Amino acid sequence: MIIGSNIIFIGNLPSTNTYAGQLIRTGNIQEGTIIHTNYQSAGRGQVGNSWESEDGKNLLMSIILNPATINPADQFIISMAVSLGICDFLNRYTDGCSIKWPNDIYVKNDKIAGILIENTIIGDKLEYCVAGIGLNLNQQKFMSNAPNPVSLKLITGSEYDPEKCLSQLSADLDLRYKQVISEEFAQIKMDYTLKLFRLNNWFNFRDQEAVFVGKIVSVADNGRLKVERKSGSVKEYYFKEIEYIL
């Protein structure tokens, strides 16, 4: 086992990703180490967004990886694998799980988890990766202005043991990460594409030009989202270049 071979629990942290970065800078940290906490006072999401989580109710964790064999140009494969690992875990308890590109996990039309991947690239080598995960287990009230949060408890009505869920999620993530280091990229990309939120259906989107009707068809190797228009043309978008209209 790589992911979960070493687990560090700290009751309260500003950010598990920040703490993971500090451990990396010590120069002696085991690959697959998980840092998890009950509460983050400054939990981070993509592009400066915050992550809301009630104390002790959810899974808040970061994983330290050393994917040295992965070319930096292929770094999005790690995000794919982490997303799939979370979906594998959720499939134990509910259906309707999908990946809202690039970093949100949905159950039907609601967000249950978010991912923050932070990579350290030195020269042409992907030196370290910190994969931060926030997954809503037992929280029932959300106070932020996030439009559609949900938790497993809200979906199923059951209470979940965070330690048991951490063990299960770690095992699922470990299997997906082993696909990465075995360079099973085609399988990961196929599985990821099939899990994409709103795949192959026409919906409204907004880009820098206008609102348009489009259909998600795939993701490029570099992580760009491929969206087809009614005209038949396909355009690729980086993160923040396109907005889902929910």
pLDDT digits (tens, 9 = 90+) for 134-152: 999 999 998 777 779 999 9
- Region 119-130: what's the mean pLDDT? 90
Average pLDDT of every residue of the chain: 93
How high is the pLDDT of residue 51? 61
pLDDT at position 78: 96
- Average pLDDT estimate for 124-142: 93
The band of 221, judged by pLDDT with boundaries at 50, 70 and 90, is confident
pLDDT per position as a tens digit, 22-77? 999 988 899 999 999 999 887 655 444 556 778 899 999 999 999 988 999 999 99
Domain boundaries, the chain: 7-194, 202-244
| Spatial CA neighbour of 79 closest among 33, 114, 124, 127 | 114
Which CATH number is associated with domain 202-244?
A: 2.30.30.100
What pTM value is reported for the model? Answer: 0.94
Does residue 121 carry a pLDDT above 70? yes
CATH code linked to domain 7-194: 3.30.930.10
